């Protein structure tokens, strides 16, 4: 992972938020409620993977304002199945898990992912290091495609500052007997540390 480049993937997401949330598809979905000030979210999900056994991961830091355009908030995005939606003249990808540096941004596709009690470590153990680092002034974003089992375990833990996600740990592993690590992200709006397995490929 010495040379990185990628394209930004827009996420319009199926949604659920909170321990008892029941999700619906993204076209009309919204979070079930706001994350309150000083909240901490820590949950694990098992998500179905497309037949090709590939998942897509995307991470970004805040992209500074440029030429009068507003700053783009950094975020984390996971796509495990092939779902799209036509928005105007564009076809956009529907992601299964996403979080960005704005209020009430968590989205989880509960038609593809289900909450599980099993937890996985929030550490990069078993993944190559050192990590690839993303900042607003260095690369800005990273996109990966990784091989996976029929299902993946996804654990997301994040905290908020004034209602906006300020720091997150995001771990992805195969949901099978070996539970092989696929990726780990240590994310904040100003810096993202990216650890991915050897079978992951940078999308460009």
Residue 176 contacts residue 149 (beta carbons within 8 Å): yes
- Looking up tokens 């440029």 gives 66
Residue 151 has pLDDT above 70, yes or no: yes
Of 32-36, 63-67, 134-138, the poorest mean pLDDT is in 32-36
Q: For the chain, give every domain's residue range.
A: 40-202
How much is the pLDDT for 38?
55
Rounded distance, CA 61 to CA 191, Å?
A: 6
How much is the pLDDT for 48?
98
How much is the pLDDT for 181?
98
Higher pLDDT, 13 or 176: 176
Q: Mind giving me the DSSP string for 141-194?
A: EEEEEEE--SEEEEEEEEEEETTEEEEEEEEEEESSSS--EEEEEEEETTEEEE
Q: Which residues pair with 160 in a beta bridge?
A: 165
How much is the pLDDT for 68?
64
How much is the pLDDT for 137?
87
- Write out pLDDT tens, residues 131-140: 999 999 888 8
Residue 4: half-sphere exposure toward Cβ, Cα within 13 Å? 22
How much is the pLDDT for 204?
66
Closest CA to 58 of 103, 13, 18, 27: 13
**Count of other CB atoms within 10 angstroms of residue 76:** 25
């Amino acid at each position: 992972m010495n040379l990185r480049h990628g394209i930004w993937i827009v996420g319009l997401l199926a949604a659920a938020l909170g321990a008892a949330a029941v999700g619906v598809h993204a076209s009309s979905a919204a979070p079930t409620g706001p994350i309150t000030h000083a909240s901490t979210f820590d949950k694990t999900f098992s998500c179905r993977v497309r037949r090709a056994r590939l998942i897509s991961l995307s991470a970004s830091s805040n992209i500074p304002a440029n030429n009068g355009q507003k700053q783009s908030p950094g975020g984390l995005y996971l796509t495990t199945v092939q779902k799209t939606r036509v928005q105007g003249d564009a076809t956009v990808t529907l992601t299964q898990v996403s979080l960005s540096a704005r209020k009430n941004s968590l989205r989880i596709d509960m038609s593809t992912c289900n909450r599980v009690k099993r937890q996985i470590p929030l550490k990069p153990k078993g993944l190559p290091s050192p990590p690839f680092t993303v900042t607003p002034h260095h690369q800005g974003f990273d996109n990966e495609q990784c091989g996976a089992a029929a299902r993946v375990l996804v654990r997301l833990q994040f905290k908020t500052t004034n209602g906006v996600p300020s720091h997150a740990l995001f771990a992805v592993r195969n949901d099978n007997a070996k539970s092989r690590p696929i990726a780990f992200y240590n994310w904040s709006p100003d810096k993202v540390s990216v650890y991915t397995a050897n079978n992951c490929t940078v999308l460009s």
